[in-house]
Amino acid sequence: MSFSKPIIATRAEGLRRLEAFLPHASGTYRDYRNHLSHPEGLPTVSKLSPWLRHRLITEQEVIDAVVDEHGVRAAEKFIQEVLWRSYWKGFLEQRPSLWTDYRREEFAIPSKHTGIECLDDWQQELEAAGYLHNHVRMWFASIWQFTLGRSWQSGADLFLRHLIDGDPASNTLSWRWVGGRQTNGKIYLATPGNIAKHTNGQYKPAQLATDVKPPAPPELPVRIPLPSTPVWQVTPKTALLIHEEDLHPEGLFGHPHWASVVALQSTSWRSGLPVSDVVNQFVAEALKDAGSRNTPSDSNDAACYLASESGFNALLAHLHNAKITQLLTPWAPCGPTADALAALEPLLKEKGVQLIRVPREWDLQLWPHATHGFFRFFKAVRAQHPLFEPTLQNE
């Protein structure tokens, strides 16, 4: 199940794909989202995640469009799935040590030959396409941990290096969820029957683990406070910093007169091992697209730097030459980009440049509810978020 080529990493393409998927976001999605294919060839899932993960299109835009088309009730399943992304982000943002502890570990590149046909095929597909269907991700993570006895961390690292949508929150916490480390006494165990049913009989692996006990109840770290909105103002010496966590900065800042616009690519901070070309290319192109929509007042292009020592030095030199004293950037949630920004910030300070991270209203409203399980989060969001109000009254 791969993407139709080429995979165009632009906001326009994300919006086009959203439009194309809209008719399928209610009944078809509700009934077939766990299947890899549809009897009449309709799409069973949206494959919007590469665009959503980088906020080329935002969760709010997607849910707005779906609610407009179908109303909340008819599209509730799809809306819920999109909200899982916001939930995991809010959950990790309040417990960043789940990311930093995992990220400190080192892994070897895993073998591609496990002797389990479906797993080997899916790994090949992951590496070639940079995408796997959600149900495949669940089976993969389950077989990896329970049948092969490998660590969730090594599997999460493999996914994060190869998935275009590789996301620190959704990936880390989903691997933990499958392994029983998010919910007391609950694991996700892949079974041959379930795999056969949803792959239309393509796979029915015989040798999967069956008798698996959940690990000891997870001890989750104490929550830390969430970000709040800083005071900010664009001055003649303010530059915009674009990064891959939010590639629609104009939705946050509008189009003020930026003295300069720079972009930072931090894909290499996903892992200690090399990140795939598919991922690097998508993100590089997406940063370029965001740069073309957010231009500085006196030139057309945003300069793009890699989050490396030489990239940082070139970025600092650019800011110095442009006499920049303030860098505004969308909030980067816990993960590779936030790590890269944390390394960059003291270097900026030394050069007299203040870095200001601005969170989105969406995150400020939703993240505080990501305290326990998803369904408690969903109930709170549905009850309180204005997005759901008008449609609920009409239904």
The site for ligand FAD (CB under 6 A) is made up of 33, 45-49, 52-53, 81-82, 84-85, 88, 134, 137-138, 141, 159, 163, 165-167, 170-171, 174-175, 178
Phi, psi of 262 (to 5 degrees): -125, 155
Is 180 known as a binding-site position? Answer: no
- CA gap 187, 166 in Å, rounded: 22
Is 31 known as a binding-site position? Answer: no
User: Coil, strand, or helix at residue 240?
Assistant: strand
CB nearer to ligand FAD: pick between 248 and 258: 248
Is 166 known as a binding-site position? Answer: yes
Residue 50 Cβ vs ligand FAD, minimum distance, rounded to whole Å: 8
Residue 81 Cβ vs ligand FAD, minimum distance, rounded to whole Å: 4
Is 167 known as a binding-site position? Answer: yes
CB nearer to ligand FAD: pick between 47 and 357: 47
Residue 172 Cβ vs ligand FAD, minimum distance, rounded to whole Å: 8
> Considering only CA atoms, which of 243, 252, 223, 233 is closest in space to residue 371?
223
CB nearer to ligand FAD: pick between 3 and 253: 3
- CA gap 178, 129 in Å, rounded: 23
Residue 88 Cβ vs ligand FAD, minimum distance, rounded to whole Å: 6
CB nearer to ligand FAD: pick between 268 and 292: 268
In the chain, the N- to C-terminal Cα span, in Å, equals 36
- CA gap 332, 359 in Å, rounded: 8
Residue 173 Cβ vs ligand FAD, minimum distance, rounded to whole Å: 8
Phi, psi of 315 (to 5 degrees): -65, -45
CB nearer to ligand FAD: pick between 46 and 147: 46
CA 98 to chain centre: 16
Is 253 known as a binding-site position? Answer: no
Contact 34, 81 (CB under 8 A): no
Write the CA distances from 166 to 24, 72, 103, integer angstroms: 24, 28, 14
CA 194 to chain centre: 27
One-letter amino acid at 145 equals: Q
CB nearer to ligand FAD: pick between 136 and 319: 136
Residue 183 Cβ vs ligand FAD, minimum distance, rounded to whole Å: 13
Residues of the binding site for FAD:
29, 78, 165-167
Residues of the binding site:
29, 78, 165-167
